[in-house]
């Protein structure tokens, strides 16, 4: 069955002329006749069958919500809960023609989000016809952003726009420090931005400015990274924190110069080796704790509980489908998620600062993220402690 129900036939109203509050609840078997009748009124093709409706009602993972007004079923929303991820997806939504313009569609969407939140889902996604201006306006008003397009998606060869919205947010807790957010201002300063957030969390007087961001980059860069400007490594970031008076510990899973696989020229590799030797020489003159071992999630949680902030090198594939090393700040950990401040905000794709604060990452996914490279993967972290006593 082609998942094409978010189309002009089931247009959730953009702006309700008269808003009412429908009663929302999970569908039950006695709703079958009304659901099938509504489906036949709304859709000419790709209808959800009675058998499928019955399966969705009884299926423990997915959710089928119905909207009632005066005990009459006037709408439904079918939400798929992805089994392997923390994603939810609005597969189909329908509102009876006589009930449109009353806020039923918006209520169903918000109800679907609340249901997905309670199931531990982080992001809600949906598809909508590219020519359905009313529905698109509603989704944008509710905070959805377009992140992709399916070409030739519908039976009539129409395109579908893909939208998503983050629906799960971290509730600040006294168990962990509050971490201020700072977005990187260049494509190569994720490390300095992540470090500044960590330092500002343990000392409110720490400057959080573009000038400081660039100063840290000059101190901590490894010179060469993939292409373009150099990125920052754990040794340089630890030294930058130390030079600003902070306690610092670095965890690096391997010895020797890092990121040598990202350059091919022998002279560049030699430069990386010299930079690494310089970092080690400078670290030897400090009290920075340098550990050649993995930093576990339990160690990160313990550090946070002590008021210390981990800055972690990750593979950004899970976040942006880019296979480059990327620094983030770990802000909190609970039984389900690791919460990150990701300093990279892709404003061109509609991302905002709010999208990157306390970003919840499933613990299992985070375990895969916190290493860079396929062969002999690198794990690196820097833990920032309070100002040193002088």
The bridge status of strand 380-387 relative to strand 246-252 is antiparallel
* Token pair in block for residue 61: 């993972």
Q: Which of the following CATH numbers is that of domain 190-387: 1.10.3720.10, 3.40.190.10, 3.90.70.10, 3.40.50.300?
A: 3.90.70.10
Please answer whether residues 226 and 261 qualify as being in contact, where contact means their C-beta atoms are separated by less than 8 angstroms.
Answer: no
Q: What is the rounded CA–CA span in Å between residue 89 and residue 61?
A: 12
Is it the case that residue 288 has pLDDT exceeding 50? yes
Predicted confidence at residue 268, as pLDDT, reads 74
Q: What is the rounded CA–CA span in Å between residue 248 and residue 202?
A: 12
Share of the chain above pLDDT 70, in %: 90
Is it the case that residue 106 has pLDDT exceeding 90? yes
Provide the mean pLDDT of the chain: 88
Is it the case that residue 2 has pLDDT exceeding 50? no
pLDDT tens digit sequence for 351-379:
888 889 999 999 988 998 888 777 778 89
Q: What is the rounded CA–CA span in Å between residue 238 and residue 93?
A: 51
Tell me the mean pLDDT in the region 70-96.
Answer: 91
pLDDT confidence bin for 30, thresholds 50/70/90 = very high
Is it the case that residue 171 has pLDDT exceeding 90? no
Is it the case that residue 50 has pLDDT exceeding 50? yes
Helical axes 210-220 vs 234-243, angle rounded to 10°:
120
Is it the case that residue 217 has pLDDT exceeding 90? yes
Q: What is the rounded CA–CA span in Å between residue 237 and residue 284?
A: 15
Kindly give, in sequence order, each residue whose CB lies less than 8 Å from that of residue 31, ignoring residues fewer than 6 positions away. 57, 66, 73
Is it the case that residue 262 has pLDDT exceeding 80? no
Judge: domain 8-166, CATH 3.40.630.30: yes
Q: Which carries the bigger pLDDT value, residue 325 or residue 266?
A: 325
Is it the case that residue 7 has pLDDT exceeding 60? no
Q: What is the DSSP letter of 95?
A: E
Is it the case that residue 270 has pLDDT exceeding 70? yes
Q: What is the rounded CA–CA span in Å between residue 336 and residue 117?
A: 13
Radius of gyration of the chain measured on its C-alpha atoms: 25
Predicted confidence at residue 227, as pLDDT, reads 52
Tell me the mean pLDDT in the region 288-300.
Answer: 94
Q: Which carries the bigger pLDDT value, residue 157 or residue 32?
A: 32
Is it the case that residue 243 has pLDDT exceeding 80? yes
Please answer whether residues 183 and 197 qualify as being in contact, where contact means their C-beta atoms are separated by less than 8 angstroms.
Answer: no
pLDDT confidence bin for 154, thresholds 50/70/90 = confident
Q: What is the rounded CA–CA span in Å between residue 164 and residue 143?
A: 8
Q: What is the rounded CA–CA span in Å between residue 130 and residue 134?
A: 10
SS3 330: strand
Tell me the mean pLDDT in the region 282-308.
Answer: 95
Please answer whether residues 146 and 130 qualify as being in contact, where contact means their C-beta atoms are separated by less than 8 angstroms.
Answer: no
Residue keyed to tokens 């700040």: 329
Is it the case that residue 160 has pLDDT exceeding 80? yes
What residues are paired with 383 via a beta bridge?
249, 310
Q: What is the rounded CA–CA span in Å between residue 353 and residue 55?
A: 40
Q: Which of 115-119, 271-275, 290-294, 296-300 has the lowest mean pLDDT?
A: 271-275
* Token pair in block for residue 135: 């529905």
Decide if 8-166 and 190-387 have a common fold: no
Q: Where is mean pLDDT largest: 47-56, 83-92, 340-349?
A: 47-56
What DSSP letter does each residue of 206-257 carry, written as one string? Answer: S--SHHHHHHHHHHHB-S--SSSS--B-HHHHHHHHHHTTEEEEEEESS-S-
Contacts 24+ apart (CB under 8 A), 297-301: 297/333, 297/338, 297/363, 297/366, 297/367, 300/330, 300/333, 300/338, 300/381, 301/333
Q: What is the rounded CA–CA span in Å between residue 302 and residue 130?
A: 48
Share of the chain above pLDDT 90, in %: 63
Domain residues of the chain, as ranges? 8-166, 190-387
Is it the case that residue 3 has pLDDT exceeding 50? no
Q: Is the pTM for the entire model greater than 0.85?
A: no
Q: Which carries the bigger pLDDT value, residue 46 or residue 182?
A: 182
Q: Which carries the bigger pLDDT value, residue 153 or residue 63?
A: 63
């Amino acid at each position: 069955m082609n998942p094409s129900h978010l189309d002009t036939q089931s247009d959730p109203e953009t702006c309700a002329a008269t808003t009412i509050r429908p009663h929302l609840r999970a569908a039950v078997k006695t709703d079958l006749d009304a659901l099938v009748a509504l489906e036949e009124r709304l859709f000419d093709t790709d209808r959800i069958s009675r058998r499928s409706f019955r399966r969705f009602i009884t299926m423990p993972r997915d959710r089928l919500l119905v909207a009632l007004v005066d005990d009459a079923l006037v709408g439904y929303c079918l939400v798929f809960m992805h089994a392997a991820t923390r994603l939810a997806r609005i597969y189909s939504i329908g509102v009876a023609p006589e009930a449109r313009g009353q806020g039923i569609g918006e209520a169903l969407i918000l109800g679907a989000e609340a249901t997905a939140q309670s199931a531990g889902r982080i992001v809600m996604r949906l598809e909508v016809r590219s020519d359905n201006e009313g529905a698109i306006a509603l989704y944008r008003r509710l905070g959805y952003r377009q992140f992709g397009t399916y070409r030739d998606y519908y039976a009539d060869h129409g395109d579908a726009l893909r939208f998503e919205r983050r629906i799960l947010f971290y509730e600040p807790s006294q168990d962990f420090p509050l971490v201020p957010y700072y977005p990187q201002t260049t494509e190569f300063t994720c490390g300095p931005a992540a470090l500044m957030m960590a330092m500002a969390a343990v000392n409110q007087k720490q400057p959080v400015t573009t000038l400081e961001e660039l100063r840290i980059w000059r101190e901590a860069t490894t010179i060469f990274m993939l292409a373009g400007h150099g990125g920052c490594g754990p040794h340089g970031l630890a030294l930058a924190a130390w030079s600003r008076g902070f306690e610092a510990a670095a965890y690096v899973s391997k010895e020797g110069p890092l990121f040598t696989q990202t350059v091919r020229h022998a002279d560049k590799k030699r430069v990386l080796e010299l930079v690494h030797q310089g970092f080690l020489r400078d670290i030897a003159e400090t009290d920075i704790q340098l550990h050649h071992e993995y930093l576990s999630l339990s160690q990160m949680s313990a550090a946070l509980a002590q008021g210390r902030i981990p800055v972690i090198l990750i593979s950004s594939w899970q976040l942006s489908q880019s296979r480059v090393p990327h620094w983030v700040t770990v802000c909190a950990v609970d039984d389900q998620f690791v919460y990150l401040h990701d300093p990279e905000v892709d404003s061109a794709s509609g991302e905002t600062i709010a999208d990157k604060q306390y970003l919840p990452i499933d613990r299992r996914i985070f375990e895969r993220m916190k290493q860079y490279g396929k062969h002999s993967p690198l794990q690196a972290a820097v833990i920032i402690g309070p100002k040193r006593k002088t």
